[in-house]
Amino acid sequence: MDIVMGDKKALSQRVSELMVAYVRMIEKDKSAINFNLANIKEKLTRVKDKEKDGVVERIGAMSAGERQIENMMKTHKMGIWSRGTSQTGVVIYDQDYYDEERDEMEKIAQKERQLGRRDYVTDMNREIYVMDALEADRSAAEIEAHELDMSTGIPEDDDAGEDDAAFIHRHDDEGDAVDAGSGARGGGDWD
């Protein structure tokens, strides 16, 4: 009886440790997404100010003639001034638009790194792109693991006896038997 009580106590201890670990994980996740309206407005203001500073810097480096052309392009919503005027890339996902924005953000981050500056907005963007890169790596690893998985579809030497060709003709790529009348491997209505 003491053994059973000891097992229950150890089990209770492990369950409580697991619950504490879960609560800590939830607290960490909540702190990463727990923003109030003031925080969101402050972050949005920082992003807008940084974008405005970039435009002012870019236009300030132009000659008077280039500025006139830039103003005409702005008036007619051409070039970079056409961003956000259509649904594509803003509301509807567009891979090319996303890649352009990402490349632009990477150039800004690289320039800031060269100048020895750290910017809050760049750090926020970097976090987003790190998450994207981690997701892409996870997805690539999952695809590679599936492609290299030899546990399905490939018969062992003894699965088909001596006639491996017959096994291949009777089974699909996943190793499941194929009905000869279904047309999946010859026969049927399609011949």
Name the token pair of 27.
Answer: 């607290």
CA distances for 99 relative to 12, 26, 89, angstroms: 51, 32, 10
CB 106 within 8 A of CB 133: no
Strand partners, 177: 171
CB 89 within 8 A of CB 83: yes
Question: How far apart are the C-alpha atoms of 29 and 54, rounded to whole Å?
Answer: 33
Angle (CA) 86 58 61, round 5°? 145
Structural domain boundaries in the chain: 50-82, 88-151
In this predicted model, what pLDDT tens digit does every residue of 108-159 receive, in sequence order?
777 777 777 777 677 776 666 666 777 777 888 888 887 777 666 665 655 5
Predicted structure pTM score: 0.42
CB 181 within 8 A of CB 188: yes
Question: How far apart are the C-alpha atoms of 108 and 54, rounded to whole Å?
Answer: 9
In this predicted model, what pLDDT tens digit does every residue of 27-79 receive, in sequence order?
888 877 788 888 889 888 888 888 888 889 888 999 999 999 999 998 888 88
